[in-house]
Amino acid sequence: MPIISLENVKKTYYLGKVEVEAVKGVSFCIEKGDFISIAGPSGSGKTTILNMIGLIDKPTSGEVIIDDKPTSKLSDRELTKMRHQVLGFIFQSFNLIPVLNVWENIEFPLLIGETRIAPQEKKEWIDHLIEEVGLTEWKKHKPNELSGGQRQRVAIARALVTRPYIVLADEPTANLDSKTGEQIIELMKKINSELDTTFIFSTHDAKIVSIADHIIRLKDGEVIENVRKGEPQPAECR
């Protein structure tokens, strides 16, 4: 049972009169609990595809189905609600809220919408996540007092706090040195196996790609390779 499927998804950007076909009819399926890498050179369409899976951007045509739910006809409100409840995000440049400290940044998604969680349970859960990403001593610090690697750990904890079943990460290691980058990917992998959270991350670092169970390789807005656990995958889902 796939958790995400893309059906002939196209995305065209219009720059004045010039059309840029960023994604040229892409189809693939993603299984729940997988650790997926979307790989490809710069400009191949990684960010565009992740944004469409993340319901941040809408395809020009085609359908993104998440958890059996087609999303193309949903309103901005409904899409926002789905992003909040189903998805978690990790960004290349961390994107923490500068005026909130580590603990508050992680808490933030729980304060939006209709999240109902008992105060004590919330505190324990956030503290647990902080421990998981190794920042217990940094709880009260503001983002600008942290290193890049630490900031990305906060971002990971924030992405997980609503217990989403899909976490999207667009080049989460691009702003980190390679050693820190590897640690971040390892942390994501650890959480993936512990919590059974589906991770989809994009990268153009070959070393990081190799950790994934499922690799989708792009070039010029098209899928050129789709391999899961060593087996090539069909475009249509079973």
Partner 1 sequence: MKTHVTIALRNLTRQKKRTALLAIAIAFSVMIVTVIYGLTSAISVNIAENFSDILGGHIFITGSEKHGTSKEISRISNDQALRDALKASGINYSYVSSYSSTFATIIFEGKTTSLLINGINIKENENFRKRLSLKKGDWESILTTPNALIVPEKVAQTLNVEIGDVVIAKIETVYGQNNVGEFRIAGINYNADLVSQLSSYTHTAHLNEILGLLPGEYQTFAVRLPSLKETDAAAMKYYDVLKNYVQVFDRKTEANGAPMTGFQALLRSQKKESWEGVKYRLFTINEQLAQIQQFVSAADTIGTTVLIILFLITMVGINNTFRMIMYERIKEIGTMRAIGYQQKDVKRLFLLEAFFLGMIGMLAGFLLAGILMAIVSSINFGMENEFFILLRNGHITFNLQFAKIATIFIIVSILTLLAVSLPARKAAKLSPAQALGTEK
Ligand X SMILES: Nc1ncnc2c1ncn2[C@@H]1O[C@H](COP(=O)(O)OP(=O)(O)OP(=O)(O)O)[C@@H](O)[C@H]1O
Token pair in block for residue 134: 């190794």
Of partner 1, Mg ion, ligand X, none, which one does residue 91 interact with (CB within 5 to 8 Å by kind)? partner 1
Q: Which residue has the tokens 């440049």?
A: 93
CB-nearer residue toward partner 1: 72 or 80: 80
Query: Does residue number 173 form part of the binding site for Mg ion (CB under 5 A)?
Result: no
Query: Does residue number 18 form part of the binding site for ligand X (CB under 6 A)?
Result: no
Give me the 56-95 binding string for partner 1, x by CB under 8 A, dash otherwise: xx------------------xx--xx-xxx---x-x-x-x
Instruction: Restricting to residues 194-223, name those near ligand X by CB under 6 A.
Output: 204
CA atoms 41, 209, 154, 50: torsion sign = positive
Instruction: Restricting to residues 1-60, name those near partner 1 by CB under 8 A.
Output: 47, 51, 54, 56-57
Please tell me the distance from the alpha carbon of residue 119 to that of residue 49, in angstroms, as a whole number. 37
Query: Does residue number 44 form part of the binding site for ligand X (CB under 6 A)?
Result: yes
Query: Does residue number 165 form part of the binding site for partner 1 (CB under 8 A)?
Result: no
For residues 135 and 149, the answer to whether their CB atoms sit within 8 Å is no
- Total binding residues for Mg ion by CB under 5 A? 1
Query: Does residue number 233 form part of the binding site for partner 1 (CB under 8 A)?
Result: no
Please tell me the distance from the alpha carbon of residue 54 to that of residue 119, in angstroms, as a whole number. 29
For ligand X, which stretch binds (CB under 6 A), given 12-20, 93-101, 141-149, 190-198?
12-20
For ligand X, which stretch binds (CB under 6 A), given 15-23, 67-75, 129-137, 208-216?
15-23
Positions touching partner 1 (CB under 8 A) are 47, 51, 54, 56-57, 76-77, 80-81, 83-85, 89, 91, 93, 95, 97-100, 104, 107-109, 111-113, 158, 162
Positions touching ligand X (CB under 6 A) are 13, 15, 20, 22, 40, 42-48, 204
